[in-house]
């Protein structure tokens, strides 16, 4: 029991040995999920020029001040300014310029009368409501001024962030890319879902599940074909993949006893991957190391049981992805709930039990079927219930820390 390494110490060791990816220039169209390496400061005002917020008529406010339904004001239309027209115009007193949303505001214009307040005329327009100074005008810089912080270093780029970068004119951005990850499942028993099975074989679920988890964690994922339990084949696959990715994740072949543990056998030859027993359940057998010459590729060798693999991914790999992108690692648990039923846990090990968290009641119901092969109960769970190392049982009503599942 004392030979087990704690979850926390293993995490620290992993994160300390990872080097964040080097920031690089990334075309905006590929920047989804990248993490900014430095602040993005507005170089120009947003919007870049005074423009109309509506389709209507640019006016001098005094010219329409008296307009009403009973006493409309009729004025000549001296020009038309559609969006994208770069002609700079000046509005003369007593006249209006028909203007579209987003079009450059003529010099001298003080307000835009929405088309709904007019008869929509082209030669002359009849206006039935006044528009005060600045009405329906978007001022240059009313969204951001030069020098304003648009996005802070450490921001992961999502749709709105990509949008503001585009709006601010960035065709490319310096950021840490989505880590490239290859997921490799190993095992002679694995058949591809969609192909026939005979007893003794199982469908490969880990590589699909882990690939999905890695994608949700913000990675670019390649799913390797299944590798047989042959150390030479495993080593060849790992070395080839390691050369082209930022992170490798394998499943299977690292359990405690067997001479059939091909991943362990293959990587023991290299010597740079440490295999240990972690004080957790599920997920005790773990391997982590760095492969090749700098920049070295981190590899996680996760246990084969699907729930062990998933829990290991959530606790070790997902935060490692954040480190690679230069992000802070949040604590393992980010919430808590009250147990609806008692739970048990082996002494000296931290349990991660599948549960269903009810947000409204702030309760968590442990699921039946907590064995590490029971993926059906994993699919029903929305959280992992964390039972601390010293605790062997917790009664119903105990407040427990929860880990959200991707
Ligand atoms: P191992 O770690 O290779 O000893 O595998 C432990 C258990 O996990 C065995 O029951 C395997 O059949 C199962 N397993 C290993 N890899 C996968 C996989 N890719 N998909 C589903 N189950 C797996
Ligand atoms: Mg195996």
Helix axes 262-270, 231-242, angle to 10 degrees: 60
Q: Which residues contact 181 (CB under 8 A, 6 or more apart)?
A: 214, 219, 220, 221, 222, 245, 246, 247, 248, 249, 321
With tokens 């092969």, the residue in question is 373
CA distance 246 to 258: 29
Per-residue confidence (pLDDT) for residue 293, from 0 to 100: 84
| Residue whose CA lies nearest to ligand 1 atom number 14 | 304
Per-residue confidence (pLDDT) for residue 295, from 0 to 100: 81
CA 298 from centre of chain: 21
If you measure from the C-alpha of residue 348 to the centroid of ligand 2, how many angstroms do you get, rounded to a whole number? 26
CA 208 from centre of chain: 19
Per-residue confidence (pLDDT) for residue 1, from 0 to 100: 46
| Residue whose CA lies nearest to ligand 1 atom number 23 | 304
Per-residue confidence (pLDDT) for residue 2, from 0 to 100: 53
The ligand 1 site (C-beta within 6 Å) comprises 185, 187, 189-190, 202, 204-207, 251-255, 303-306, 373
Residues in the chain with pLDDT < 50? 1
CATH of range 26-43+149-176; options 3.90.105.10, 1.10.260.40, 3.40.50.720, 3.40.190.10: 3.90.105.10
Per-residue confidence (pLDDT) for residue 269, from 0 to 100: 84
Q: What CATH number does the domain located at 51-138 have?
A: 2.170.190.11
If you measure from the C-alpha of residue 305 to the centroid of ligand 1, how many angstroms do you get, rounded to a whole number? 5
Q: Which class is domain 4-21+179-324?
A: alpha beta
Q: How far is CA 189 from CA 200, 255, 342, in A?
A: 7, 15, 36
Atom nearest to 303 CA in ligand 1: 2
Q: Which class is domain 335-404?
A: mainly beta
The domain locations on the chain are 4-21+179-324, 26-43+149-176, 51-138, 335-404
Per-residue confidence (pLDDT) for residue 258, from 0 to 100: 61
């Amino acid at each position: 029991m004392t030979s087990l390494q704690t979850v926390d110490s293993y995490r620290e060791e992993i994160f300390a040995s990872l080097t964040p990816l080097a920031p690089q220039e990334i075309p905006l169209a590929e920047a989804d999920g990248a993490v900014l390496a430095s602040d993005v400061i507005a170089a120009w005002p947003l919007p870049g020029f005074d423009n109309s917020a509506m389709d209507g008529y640019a006016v001098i406010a005094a010219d329409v001040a008296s307009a009403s339904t009973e006493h409309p004001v009729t004025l000549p239309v001296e020009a038309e300014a559609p969006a994208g027209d770069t002609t700079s115009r000046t509005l003369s007193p007593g006249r209006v310029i028909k203007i579209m949303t987003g079009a450059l505001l003529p010099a001298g214009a003080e307000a835009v009368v929405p088309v709904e307040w007019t008869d929509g005329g082209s030669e002359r327009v009849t206006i039935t409501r006044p528009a005060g100074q600045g009405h329906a005008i978007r001022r240059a810089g009313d969204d951001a001024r030069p020098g304003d912080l648009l996005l802070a270093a450490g921001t992961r780029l999502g749709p709105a962030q990509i949008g503001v970068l585009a709006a601010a004119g960035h065709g490319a951005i310096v950021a840490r890319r989505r880590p490239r990850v290859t997921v490799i499942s190993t095992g002679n028993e694995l058949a591809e879902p969609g192909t026939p099975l005979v007893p003794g074989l199982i469908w490969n679920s880990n590589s699909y599940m882990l690939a999905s988890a890695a994608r949700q964690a913000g990675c670019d994922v390649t799913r390797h074909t299944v590798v047989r339990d042959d150390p030479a084949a495993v080593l060849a696959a790992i070395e080839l993949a390691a050369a082209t990715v930022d992170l490798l994740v394998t499943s299977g072949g690292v359990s405690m006893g067997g001479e059939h543990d091909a991943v362990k056998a293959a990587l023991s030859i290299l010597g740079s991957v440490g295999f240990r027993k972690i004080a957790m359940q599920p997920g005790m057998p773990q391997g982590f190391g760095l492969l090749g010459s700098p920049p070295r590729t981190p590899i996680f060798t996760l246990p084969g049981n699907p729930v062990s693999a998933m829990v290991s991914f959530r606790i070790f790999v997902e935060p490692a992805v954040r480190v690679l992108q230069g992000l802070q690692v949040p604590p393992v648990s980010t919430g808590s709930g009250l147990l609806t039923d008692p739970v048990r846990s082996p002494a000296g090990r931290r349990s991660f039990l599948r549960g269903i968290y009810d947000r409204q009641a702030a309760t968590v119901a442990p699921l039946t079927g907590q064995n590490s092969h029971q993926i059906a109960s994993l699919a029903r769970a929305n959280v992992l219930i964390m039972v601390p190392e010293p605790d062997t049982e917790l009664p119903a009503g105990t407040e427990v820390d929860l880990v959200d599942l991707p």
